[in-house]
Structure 1
Amino acid sequence: MSDFFAGIGKVPFEGPESDDPLAYRYYEPARVVLGKTMEEQLRIAVAYWHSFAWPGGDPFGGQTFERPWFDGGMEAARLKADVAFEMFSILGTPFYTFHDRDVAPEGRSLAESSRNVREIADIFAKKQEETGVRLLWGTANLFSNRRFMSGAATNPDPDVFAYAAAQVKDALDVTHRLGGANYVLWGGREGYETLLNTDMKQELDHAGRFLSMVVDYKHKIGFPGTILIEPKPQEPTKHQYDYDVATVFGFLQRFGLEKEVKVNIEVGHAVLAGHSFEHEIATAAALGIFGSVDANRNDYQSGWDTDQFPNNAPEMALAIYYILKAGGLTTGGFNFDSKIRRQSLDPQDLIAAHVGGIDICAKALLAAAAMTEDGGLAKALKERYAGWESAEAQAMLGSDLETIAARVDREGLEPQPRSGRQEMLENWVNRFV
């Protein structure tokens, strides 16, 4: 045990009237919402990297945080593990997530790096047994080291491709051993800055082959979890091969992986792609590849991925509504890929940020559940598309242009537009949020 969170007890539920910044106002893990407990509906996870590995830097300034585990090799990594599981217990969160390089220092070789990760995994295994906290997903950091400056799976150097493959194998092994519910591939460096030095087709083919190898290895070792890709646009690479959900689906179809791989959708990435969070969720659900989500937000004035904690319940309510409409989360969860601000220096700030973000998700869940139970949006949607329920309309989908054109001529069809009722529906949503 450490004394990093000394004086901070387990976060209680105190209800909407509470003014305690370290108490939940809406998150009641055991409260049943639409047939599942709130804990089961949200499956909250704490992200190891932003909470324990991020030093507080940004593109224009260096480290602002001073953490006792930032320096000191494996001894510091062991202390970081103690602090992490203390925070999970304080928050009462059921899951956590990590990259391999978050949990243990990189060694002088891949073999040494992997030994370091396995040693910390031994600690994780014991702490999971003691606390009941589980691993939502693991992943490999294929972007921080300078060897990945031109990508990992899409790197023009075959030795970098090989190194990345070996690193992913080791990370997937550890994720499997710890009972991870998913394994994520984050392709922040999988893209290019200029076509002048890029063979796009070759890089796409290599990315597809790499992912196929990951799927093959998953089945070989009997990993029961879901393989996830996290769509990521424009940062840090200018043109990325996994730009948004629709782009990822096209990629998966091209390589025959659309039944094997799903997506982990992040709020901030959706915004950078010019979409809303709920749009990306609904797209993934429509295409059959919805898997998991990252809960955060961007500063809409900054124009880059600021990874702030979520604080907008109405926005999150719509996202959760479409998650519920898609059948809810299965192996996925709400991972807090969020970081406190560079000026938020105290341990209490880290706890308060998670408390607030978790409460926003809980409040949004209650609103989304109320919208679902009311059924007003579903009813309006059914009415708008009611014409397609007729036998004649359905038969048209199996017909041909000539037959359809003949019917239009024969019946003298002159269809008139009908209101989409957008403002009325927006007003309806506002009744619940």
Structure 2
Amino acid sequence: MTEFFQGIAPIAHEGPDSTNPLAFHHYNPDEIVMGKRMEDHLRFAVAYWHSFAWEGNDPFGGQTFERPWHPQDRMTTARIKADAAFEMFDILGQPYFCWHDADIRPEGDTFAESLRNFEEIIACFEEKMSTRKVRLLWGTANMFSHRRWMGGASTNPDPDVFAYSAATVKTCMDATMKLGGENYVLWGGREGYETLLNTDMGRELDHMGRFLNMVVDYKHKIGFQGTILVEPKPQEPSKHQYDYDAATCYGFLQKYGLENEVKLNLEQGHAILAGHSFEHEIATAAALGVLGSIDMNRNDYQSGWDTDQFPNNVPEVALAYYHILKAGGLATGGTNFDAKLRRQSLDARDLIAAHVGAMDVCARGLKAAAAMLEDGGLEDALKERYAGWDTPEARAMLNSDLDTIFDKVNAGAITPSPRSGRQEILENYVNRFV
């Protein structure tokens, strides 16, 4: 045991009237929402990288956090970090966690040494998980931080880097399966380009498509029953990312024959960077049949970059869960808090309180979303707005041709009369629930 979380008791649900900052006011894992336990709807996960590996640095300043597992370049401190992580999981009681390989083990001088370090920590995780309820939502590989990835991973102009990427993903998929992970995520942090002056875009896209096909083939080879997920991100660090948003990723999956094999892990902050809302990305993925999982956070809307703050906007969260519930839920996915403390929030208590507050915000959003669906107001409004398309005439028009349609319009049989979209009324409707 470490002393980092000393004195912090497991978090309990105390209800909305409690003033305890380290209690759940709205998240009650056993509360039934639309016939299902709240915990089973939300499927919360803690992100190992932001909660334990991040040191409080930003583009203009270095480390601000001082943790018992610093520096993170030794196996002894990696084990201390694991001890602290699972202590926090016990305190929060969330059902899942997620990791990158580089979060949990120190980098070795060779691939083989890094792999030995990784496998040792995976064995440590396996032992700790054997006596706890916490499970692995997904694993992934960090193929963006080390200098070897500066030109991309699967899209790198150097075939040796492609090979290193393939070997890295294999080891992470093996570890994810060993720990019973329910998904495997590929986030192409540098799968894009900074300038076309030195980029063969067509070749890079083909290499990325081939790489992802290799991943899917390996999934089936080893019998991994989880879902392969790709995470869209429009920029930062690469200026032009190939995985820009949900629609772009779906087009990529279709081009390389993967639309039935791979789903998407969508992040609130990435949606904002792409110029979308989170519910837009979720609704897009759901409509295309590739909604997999979500990373829940928020951006600072004034800064214009990916600040990865914990969520605190209930109306935004409610609309996100509305589209998730409407699509049938998250299946093997979950709600991963890809969020980090502010660099001035130094204490262990801050880390716990951030997750507690975020879990409460999501619980409030989920309940509001469920109430809207059960009330049916938005669905009734949609049905009314598109009612014209349910007529025999409209259905026949879709199976017609331009000449036939022209004849009807030209004869005066069809004269459009615009109707109100009622946006403000619908926004007022949503506000009744949030």
TM-score category, normalised to shorter length: over 0.9
In the alignment, which residue of structure 1 is the partner of 2:18? 18
Instruction: Give the alignment of 1:170-249 within 5 angstroms.
Output: 170-249=171-250
Instruction: Give the alignment of 1:241-280 within 5 angstroms.
Output: 241-280=242-281
More deviation, 163-172/113-122: 113-122
- For residue 351 of structure 1, report the CA deviation from its aligned partner: 0.2
- For residue 216 of structure 1, report the CA deviation from its aligned partner: 0.5
Q: SS where residue 130 of structure 1 aligns? A: coil
Partners of 1:12 and 1:357 in 2: how far apart? 15
- For residue 188 of structure 1, report the CA deviation from its aligned partner: 1.3
- For residue 127 of structure 1, report the CA deviation from its aligned partner: 1.4
Instruction: Give the alignment of 1:338-353 within 5 angstroms.
Output: 338-353=339-354
Instruction: Give the alignment of 1:362-377 within 5 angstroms.
Output: 362-377=363-378
More deviation, 408-417/294-303: 408-417
- Verify: 1:304 aligned to 2:305, yes or no: yes
- For residue 123 of structure 1, report the CA deviation from its aligned partner: 1.2
Partners of 1:179 and 1:401 in 2: how far apart? 55
Q: Which amino acid aligns with 1:197?
A: N
Q: SS where residue 97 of structure 1 aligns? A: strand
- For residue 409 of structure 1, report the CA deviation from its aligned partner: 3.3
In the alignment, which residue of structure 2 is the partner of 1:57? 57
Partners of 2:240 and 2:65 in 1: how far apart? 32
Q: For residues 168-213 of structure 1, give each alpha carbon's deviation from its aligned partner in whole angstroms, at most 9, with x where no partner exists.
A: 0000000011111100001110111110010000101111000010
Partners of 1:285 and 1:278 in 2: how far apart? 10
Q: Which amino acid aligns with 2:259?
A: E
Q: Which amino acid aligns with 1:398?
A: N
- Verify: 1:46 aligned to 2:46, yes or no: yes
Partners of 1:165 and 1:267 in 2: how far apart? 28
Partners of 1:347 and 1:336 in 2: how far apart? 17
Q: SS where residue 365 of structure 1 aligns? A: helix
Partners of 1:364 and 1:304 in 2: how far apart? 24
Instruction: Give the alignment of 1:421-432 within 5 angstroms.
Output: 421-432=422-433
Q: Which amino acid aligns with 1:362?
A: A
Partners of 1:53 and 1:348 in 2: how far apart? 17
Q: SS where residue 210 of structure 1 aligns? A: helix
Partners of 1:265 and 1:336 in 2: how far apart? 12
Instruction: Give the alignment of 1:348-427 within 5 angstroms.
Output: 348-410=349-411, 412-427=413-428
Q: SS where residue 378 of structure 1 aligns? A: helix
Q: SS where residue 232 of structure 1 aligns? A: coil
In the alignment, which residue of structure 2 is the partner of 1:37? 37
Q: Which amino acid aligns with 1:332?
A: G
Partners of 1:145 and 1:390 in 2: how far apart? 59
In the alignment, which residue of structure 2 is the partner of 1:104? 105
More deviation, 70-79/407-416: 407-416
Partners of 2:36 and 2:400 in 1: how far apart? 44
Q: Which amino acid aligns with 1:314?
A: P
- For residue 342 of structure 1, report the CA deviation from its aligned partner: 0.2
- For residue 408 of structure 1, report the CA deviation from its aligned partner: 2.6
Verify the 8 A CA contact 1:73 1:105 in the aligned structure 2: yes
Q: Which amino acid aligns with 2:2?
A: S
Partners of 1:281 and 1:95 in 2: how far apart? 21
- For residue 77 of structure 1, report the CA deviation from its aligned partner: 0.9
Partners of 1:118 and 1:232 in 2: how far apart? 29
- Verify: 1:314 aligned to 2:353, yes or no: no
Partners of 2:406 and 2:122 in 1: how far apart? 65
TM-score in terms of structure 1 length:
0.99
Partners of 1:292 and 1:13 in 2: how far apart? 25
Partners of 1:252 and 1:53 in 2: how far apart? 32
Partners of 1:34 and 1:409 in 2: how far apart? 50
Q: For residues 286-326 of structure 1, give each alpha carbon's deviation from its aligned partner in whole angstroms, at most 9, with x where no partner exists.
A: 01100000010001111110000000101100000010011
- For residue 406 of structure 1, report the CA deviation from its aligned partner: 2.4
Q: Which amino acid aligns with 1:157?
A: D
Partners of 1:191 and 1:357 in 2: how far apart? 32
More deviation, 152-161/104-113: 104-113
- For residue 405 of structure 1, report the CA deviation from its aligned partner: 1.9
More deviation, 166-175/104-113: 104-113
- Verify: 1:68 aligned to 2:75, yes or no: no
- For residue 75 of structure 1, report the CA deviation from its aligned partner: 1.0
- For residue 407 of structure 1, report the CA deviation from its aligned partner: 2.8
In the alignment, which residue of structure 2 is the partner of 1:9? 9
Partners of 2:43 and 2:363 in 1: how far apart? 11
Q: For residues 34-86 of structure 1, give each alpha carbon's deviation from its aligned partner in whole angstroms, at most 9, with x where no partner exists.
A: 01100000000000000000000000000000111122511111111111011
Partners of 1:327 and 1:357 in 2: how far apart? 23
Structure 2 runs not aligned, ≥5 long: none
- For residue 360 of structure 1, report the CA deviation from its aligned partner: 0.3
- For residue 413 of structure 1, report the CA deviation from its aligned partner: 1.0
Verify the 8 A CA contact 1:97 1:137 in the aligned structure 2: yes
- For residue 411 of structure 1, report the CA deviation from its aligned partner: 5.3
Partners of 1:431 and 1:385 in 2: how far apart? 24
Q: SS where residue 46 of structure 2 aligns? A: strand
Partners of 1:46 and 1:20 in 2: how far apart? 22
Q: SS where residue 185 of structure 2 aligns? A: strand
Q: SS where residue 131 of structure 1 aligns? A: coil
Partners of 1:344 and 1:363 in 2: how far apart? 25
